[in-house]
Amino acid sequence: MNSEMLEALQAVASDKGITVEDMLAALADALESAYKRMPEAHEFSWVTIDPDSMEFRVFAQDIDENGEPTGEEFDVTPENFGRIAAQTTRQVMTQRIREVERDLKYEEYAGREGDIVTGMIQQTDSRYTLLDLGRVEALLPQAEQVPFERPEPNSRLKAYIVEVRKTAKGPQIVVSRTHPGLIKRLFELEVPEISDGIVEIKACAREPGHRTKIAVSSNDATIDPVGACVGARGARVRMVVNELRGEKIDIIPFSDDPGEFVTRALSPAKIKEVMVDEESGTATVVVPDYQLSLAIGKEGQNARLAARMTGWRVDIKSETEVADEVAFEQVDWAEGEWVVDDETGEQVWQPADGGDAMSIEEWSEAVDGDSAEVDDSEDAIEESPEIEQEIVEETAEETVEETLEETNQEDLETN
């Protein structure tokens, strides 16, 4: 009987993917639990199993006043232990096997955060989607799903593992379809140069379902990193795009120069100049007027992706805006400040040279004085027909005098 039990344990262990040692340990725990349920059982006791003969023995020790075991161990195996143990062994063994299976499943996926898995869609609702990975199920929450992406049931889907949790019911694997790491893993599957370490993905920025930008570099001068990712006639990048349900992907070469990197990140827009401020972390980009909308992108998408990928705050300006700012800075502005008069409570202009304060009306008159005089003179001429008539008559008289002088001069030359 013992040999048959050993063969049965070996068969169960092989079927469940558990070692025989784990099965014997589970059986020992089950027998110990069964023994302690017997009347007059010793409190401090344990069960040993001979792996060759499958002989069960129960040993115990006495307990002192402090609850610590004392004295020598002695054999307390009951005569009818086999019959009593059989009544509870099956239930405890089943529970123990389930626990071992859960631990094995958890160990299989523990530490695999960042890997990509392929599963079959099992169930979909408004809260989450379940993926069947074979021995376990993966949870795809609504927040990790691409907007407007509705995969069909029983279809295969690739996802990115973001977390592996250990629960009482087994491992809970949380996956994502929106994580930027999914892009890197998909390119590793399609581009051998990336999996071999020859080509590296330096940066990645993504707006799931719409557009992705990645920057790549090559550790081998003879290999074009962008061409390796695109593939012959776009075959490699097309496989990634198909897996992402048509999401657009921009691949640009990486650069250590911040200005050059920002310029490439804003492609396909043509950039005229990039001014980098390392203290504030801002990159001011100057583009031609007709390229401004292209550089910003639809709803600012191109600028956002470029800022995320480069790590710089991107400020895009047209040439006209830059010219206006330069002209504004070159204006000789009066130095001073606006302050509140303590007596009147009104705002007054206090010159920096310590002169008398001016009210808003006085400051406006001083600034617009010259232009106001010119405007007044023009208005006066327009409003007075007599003055305008005098100017016309004087002009006519001067013209007649000039004509008479020219005629007399011609007569004298003729004579």
pLDDT digits (tens, 9 = 90+) for 321-343: 988 888 877 765 567 788 888 88
Q: What is the pLDDT of residue 398?
A: 57
What residue ranges in 228-319 does DSSP mark as E strands?
A: 248-253, 273-277, 282-287, 313-318
Closest CA to 204 of 181, 227, 226: 181
Q: What is the pLDDT of residue 331?
A: 62
Kindly state the average pLDDT of the residues 78-88: 69
Q: What is the pLDDT of residue 200?
A: 94
The dihedral sign for the CA sequence 107, 111, 117, 120 = positive
Q: Based on the number of CB atoms within 10 Å of its own CB, is 349 exposed (0-12), middle (13-18) or buried (19 or more)?
A: buried
Number of H helices, E strands in the chain: 14, 17
| CATH node for 2-109 | 3.30.1480.10
Q: Are 189 and 141 in contact (CB under 8 A)?
A: no
% of the chain beyond a pLDDT of 90? 36
Where do you find CATH 2.40.50.140 in the chain? 116-176
Where do you find CATH 3.30.300.20 in the chain? 255-331
Distance CA 98, CA 120 (A): 24
Kindly state the average pLDDT of the residues 201-212: 93
Q: How far apart are the first and last CA of the chain?
A: 160
Query: What average pLDDT does the structure give for the chain?
Result: 82
Distance CA 151, CA 153 (A): 7
Distance CA 382, CA 395 (A): 17
Closest CA to 86 of 37, 46, 40, 18: 37
Q: Which tokens is 143 given?
A: 């927040």
pLDDT at residue 365 greater than cutoff 50:
yes
DSSP state of 74: E
Q: Report the run of H or E that residue 18 belongs to, with start and end.
A: none
Of the candidate ranges 57-71, 190-204, 253-267, 395-409, the one whose mean pLDDT is the lowest: 395-409
The superfamily in CATH containing domain 255-331 is K homology (KH) domain (3.30.300.20)
Q: Are 288 and 271 in contact (CB under 8 A)?
A: no
pLDDT band at 374, cuts 50/70/90? Answer: very low
Where do you find CATH 3.30.1480.10 in the chain? 2-109
Q: Which tokens is 407 given?
A: 């005629």
For residue range 49-79, list pLDDT tens digits in order.
Answer: 887 777 778 888 888 888 788 888 888 888 7
Distance CA 226, CA 214 (A): 10
pLDDT at residue 411 greater than cutoff 80:
no
Distance set, CA 1 to CA 5, 149, 221, 388 (Å): 6, 59, 71, 134
pLDDT band at 379, cuts 50/70/90? Answer: low
Q: What is the pLDDT of residue 177?
A: 92
For residue range 275-290, list pLDDT tens digits in order.
Answer: 999 899 999 999 999 9
Q: Are 145 and 128 in contact (CB under 8 A)?
A: no
Check whether the bond before 51 is cis (ω within 30° of 0). Answer: no
For residue range 92-119, list pLDDT tens digits in order.
Answer: 667 777 887 788 888 888 888 889 999 9
Identify the CATH assignment for 116-176 out of 3.60.15.10, 2.40.50.140, 2.60.120.1600, 1.10.3720.10: 2.40.50.140
